[in-house]
Amino acid sequence: MKNLLIASTMGLLAMACGSDPHPPVAPSGGTQDGAKSTQVAGPKASAEEDAAPTQLSIDDKILKACGIAASDAHFDFNSANVKQGDYPVLSKLAQCFASGPLKGRKMLLVGHADSRGDEEYNMTLGGRRAGGVKSVLVARKLSGAQVSTSSRGELDATGSDEASYAQDRRVDVRLAD
């Protein structure tokens, strides 16, 4: 009976944690063709939030082609939820890739996490962040076939304090091959 109770509890905990519809993959290498990306710090998290937000780092080539001012989507500590205030820049990205200057091109979203937490959790969290951004783009009429996701988890993390941890929590938006 005791073993059944433990097994049931573990099963409920696993279901409560949810599953990631976009399994994380750790790609190798940097940006495509050595391209640069612009990363802009967003507004700081309020005192009610756990930590400073994460950036959406958009490749400079994409910003220029889509006519987007450097802007970002934010993730709170331990979260993969895209904030509603970040939808305008994601809508512009979707429009640009669906019917604008980058029509038909493919986009790669690479999720990142800070170094806190274990490696497997951070790899999954990075994948969930990239998947969350993809879901917003697809809801704005961008074909899911044009967007691929992956995760680097904490592999590129360099943070040592809250401000630098916030820089590690991001999704990179790149042109895919």
pLDDT tier, 128 (very low <50, low <70, confident <90, very high otherwise): very high
Q: Taking 50 as the threshold, does the pLDDT of residue 147 lie above it?
A: yes
Residue 14, domain member (yes or no): no
Q: What is the mean pLDDT of residues 50-62?
A: 67
Residue 45, domain member (yes or no): yes
Residue 73, domain member (yes or no): yes
Residue 63, domain member (yes or no): yes
DSSP assignment of 42-101, as one string? Answer: -PPPPTTSSSPPPEEEEEHHHHHHHT--S------TT--PPPGGGHHHHHHHHHHHHTST
Domain extent, residue 100, equals: 22-175
> What CATH number does the domain containing 121 carry?
3.30.1330.60
Look at residue 135 in the predicted model and tell me its pLDDT.
95
Query: How many structural domains comprise the chain?
Result: 1
Residue 65, domain member (yes or no): yes
**Angle 134-122-162 (CA atoms, 0-180°, nearest 5)?**
100
Question: Is the pTM above the cut of 0.75?
Answer: no
- Per residue in 19-49, pLDDT (tens digit) is 333 333 333 333 333 444 444 333 333 322 3
